[in-house]
Chain A
Amino acid sequence: MSTRASHHQVTTGLNETRWMIIKDRLGRGWYKFRRNPISLVGGVMVLLCVFLAIFAPYVTPYPKHAGAFTDFQNAFQAPSKSHWLGTDALGCDVFTRIIFGSRISLMLTAVVLGISVPVGVFLGLISGYMGGKTETVIMRVTDVFLSLPALVMALAICAAFTPSIDKAMLAVASIWWTWHCRLVNGITRSIKTEEFVQASKVLGASPLRIIFKDILPNCASPVIVKITLDAGFVILVGAGLSFLGLGAQPPAEDLGTMISFGAKYLPERWWMTVFPSLAIFFIILGFNLLGDGLRDVLAVEEGV
């Protein structure tokens, strides 16, 4: 009874120390983050985009104009009081469609990274830890996927499907895991020889435990920074796909699609192209600034 109680005390004590360490780290990270105006600006920009995207039906003046909607009488109106950013060829409010369009962009990046990061991290861990043939096979497949520029590879994969936003997501996700696989593979290979991992092994920890409890937490910071920087890049690639007609199909309110349609009416109806372009720039810039800031805060090396 008494031994159990003391054991309990010891574990709570441990938990408390651990919690204090975490709190201390978080506090310091937050302090560094706050002192870095660029990352703060980036964070605010990203939060603003997410907020607008979530509450799009409530913050936009004409929520009905997203998706399939036509009002030819009000087509091609220049920016005015009733339509801040003008209207497009079908009479839809450009401002409304941009806000709804940011939904698609954010969803694209969330889905792509949500699928590809866990896969890449897992394969990187396994290949780095196991070494030998497993590593050779996994890393050679990675090399094949990286033998083309990301957008070209995504295009080639898109070729097999009828164009749609789902297929675009699938195509981008199916190449994106490779970056995370390479990153985590490198970290795992260098960490696996560290003493604490050897100690775990000697104590009889299972490979799974070593991989997930000892090695994975050490990959967290670089992977988080990479995810933030990737978020903007995925949006960039996605916008490129839909600009080329391989992503979201009209009447979906995708930013890339809007730009490619608006470009036909340059230069007279410039608002149809210029404003969606600025919106893409805003979202991607937000993620990039945030990522750069996080890299400083988490002290991750440049080049990730």
Chain B
Amino acid sequence: MRFSYFVLRRWLYSILVLFGLSILIFIIARMLPGDPARLALGPFALQEQVEHLRHVMGMDKPLPLQYWTYITGIFHGDFGLSFQTRRNVALDIAHYLPATVELVLMAIVWVLVLGVPLGVLAARYKDSWVDNLVRVMAFIGVAVPPFVVGLFLQLTFSYLLGILPTTGRLSLMTPAPPLRTGLLLLDSLIEGDFSALGDALKHIILPSFAIAMTGIGQIARLTRASMSDVANQDYIEASRGFGIPNRVIAFKYMLKPASIAPLTILGLTFASELSNAFLVETVFAWPGLAKYGIRAILRKDFNAVMGVVLIIGLAFVIVNLIVDILAGYVDPRIRIKHEEGE
């Protein structure tokens, strides 16, 4: 009961932070030297046309009023007009978001499927090759920029070995499955179109792995550390004394308490994956939100920048909230700590 109160308070607070973020970005956007209307219309537009656009966009009104118009618009699903696509930013986001969601979800799958087992194995066989592999991956994950990881993967698997495609989400020859969720893997699965599914899988492997690299190393290292901590506990020693098989001890009695630390940094992992998406989508010409955002930034398309930033902020907030709830679920101590008032 009290824990749900804590979650609710966190949730409300996160919304406040998002408002703060929108104000900050709004101020930055409007601080800009140069006139967005002029930038949108180009150097050959007449002054009256520029004035007209400024009026249409409400840019001749005072700043607080402009902000109010913008923020109330968002609640009606109106993110303003994008200068590059001449469409409502909300439509653009709906168009580009699924590709990025698919990529980041796939990266999370990599982190969970590779990171956690690698950490468990590294803890089990200390100083073995698995342990060393985890160490190296952790260092590469934090010391190599993700776009470099992407380029090297491309160089090895696409150019040298020629087994995986270089760019995009689907080959030109593959007809896309009908649009349902926008996630190609899911759409082709629903349709039962396995050639499209295979093609989409081939395309997503490299970019998602490049994004996941940081997370895999971090999670593996943290899992290893907390598995080793738990292994030194008395109750593990006791269960060994009772003759419980090692495998049962590792997965039934050790993994749950050891998963708390990796779980709490899953929010950070998600943050790093979102950042990495901005770099990796460029390398693999992945038509996602990050790529749209970068183009918007380079072309000073402010409504688009605001929209992308707010969506990413929202995603970040939601993921952190989920992580909090999960951590509280797995570890009752966290719940009690919050019930006692932080």
> Using a CB–CB distance below 8 Å, which chain A residues touch chain B?
140-141, 143-145, 147-152, 155-161, 163, 232-233, 236, 239-240, 243-246, 256, 259-260, 263, 266-267, 270, 273-274, 277, 280-281, 284-285, 288
Q: Is the CB of B29 within 8 A of A159?
A: yes
B295 to chain A minimum Cβ distance, whole angstroms, is 10
Nearest 5 interchain pairs by C-beta: A144-B20, A267-B159, A151-B275, A149-B271, A149-B275
B14 to chain A minimum Cβ distance, whole angstroms, is 8
A262 to chain B minimum Cβ distance, whole angstroms, is 9
Q: Is the CB of B278 within 8 A of A143?
A: no
Q: Is the CB of B17 within 8 A of A288?
A: no
Assuming A144-B20, A148-B313, A244-B294, is B145 touching A280 (CB within 8 A)?
yes
Q: Which of A140, A147, A259 has the most CB of B within 10 A?
A: A147
| Cβ contacts under 8 Å, A280 to chain B | 144-145, 148
Instruction: Across the interface, name the chain A residue whose C-beta is closest to B23.
Output: A144
Some 9 contacts from A to B, beta carbons below 8 A apart, are A150-B275, A233-B142, A236-B142, A244-B282, A245-B298, A259-B147, A280-B144, A284-B143, A285-B139
Q: Is the CB of A148 within 8 A of B21?
A: yes
Instruction: Across the interface, name the chain A residue whose C-beta is closest to B25.
Output: A156
B6 to chain A minimum Cβ distance, whole angstroms, is 17
| Cβ contacts under 8 Å, A232 to chain B | 142-143
Is B160 part of the binding interface, using a Cβ–Cβ cutoff of 8 Å? Answer: yes
Instruction: Across the interface, name the chain A residue whose C-beta is closest to B314.
Output: A147
Q: Which of B144, B148, B272, B305 has the most CB of A within 10 A?
A: B148
Q: Is the CB of B28 within 8 A of A160?
A: yes
Q: Is the CB of B155 within 8 A of A158?
A: no
| Cβ contacts under 8 Å, B271 to chain A | 149
Q: Is the CB of A277 within 8 A of B316?
A: no
Other contacts beyond A141-B20, A270-B155, A277-B151: 4, CB < 8 A: A144-B17, A148-B313, A240-B278, A277-B145
- Which residues of chain B from 115 to 163 have any CB-CB distance to chain A below 8 Å in the complex? 139-140, 142-148, 151-152, 154-155, 159-160
Is B327 part of the binding interface, using a Cβ–Cβ cutoff of 8 Å? Answer: no
Instruction: Across the interface, name the chain B residue whose C-beta is closest to A141.
Output: B20
Contact of B28 among A159, A163, A263, A274 (CB under 8 A): A159
In the complex, what distance in Å separates the CA atom of A280 from the CA atom of B122? 28
Is B297 part of the binding interface, using a Cβ–Cβ cutoff of 8 Å? Answer: yes
In the complex, what distance in Å separates the CA atom of A243 from the CA atom of B296? 16
In the complex, what distance in Å separates the CA atom of A284 from the CA atom of B297? 27
Annotate B1-42 by CB proximity to A: 1 below 8 A, 0 otherwise. 000000000000010011011001100110110000000000
In the complex, what distance in Å separates the CA atom of A274 from the CA atom of B151? 9
| Cβ contacts under 8 Å, B297 to chain A | 155-156, 158-159, 246
Q: Is the CB of B143 within 8 A of A281?
A: yes
In the complex, what distance in Å separates the CA atom of A274 from the CA atom of B20? 41
Contact of B298 among A149, A157, A246, A277 (CB under 8 A): A246
Q: Is the CB of B279 within 8 A of A240?
A: yes
Contact of A148 among B142, B279, B300, B316 (CB under 8 A): B316
Q: Is the CB of B279 within 8 A of A144?
A: no
B260 to chain A minimum Cβ distance, whole angstroms, is 14
| Cβ contacts under 8 Å, A156 to chain B | 25, 28, 297, 305, 309
A100 to chain B minimum Cβ distance, whole angstroms, is 19
B173 to chain A minimum Cβ distance, whole angstroms, is 23
Assuming A259-B148, A267-B155, is B32 touching A144 (CB within 8 A)?
no
Q: Is the CB of A144 within 8 A of B316?
A: no
| Cβ contacts under 8 Å, B25 to chain A | 156
A105 to chain B minimum Cβ distance, whole angstroms, is 11
Contact of A263 among B17, B283, B316 (CB under 8 A): B283
Q: Is the CB of A244 within 8 A of B139?
A: no
| Cβ contacts under 8 Å, B159 to chain A | 266-267
A287 to chain B minimum Cβ distance, whole angstroms, is 8
In the complex, what distance in Å separates the CA atom of A144 from the CA atom of B24? 8
Q: Is the CB of A159 within 8 A of B152?
A: no
| Cβ contacts under 8 Å, B298 to chain A | 163, 245-246
Q: Is the CB of B143 within 8 A of A288?
A: yes
B84 to chain A minimum Cβ distance, whole angstroms, is 13
Q: Is the CB of A243 within 8 A of B279?
A: yes
In the complex, what distance in Å separates the CA atom of A163 from the CA atom of B32? 12
Assuming A156-B309, A159-B297, is B28 touching A147 (CB within 8 A)?
no
Q: Is the CB of A147 within 8 A of B316?
A: yes
| Cβ contacts under 8 Å, A143 to chain B | 17, 20
In the complex, what distance in Å separates the CA atom of A166 from the CA atom of B316? 28
In the complex, what distance in Å separates the CA atom of A288 from the CA atom of B146? 16
| Cβ contacts under 8 Å, A277 to chain B | 144-145, 148, 151-152
Contact of A147 among B17, B31, B278, B296 (CB under 8 A): B17
- Which residues of chain B from 304 to 342 have any CB-CB distance to chain A below 8 Å in the complex? 305, 309, 312-313, 316-317
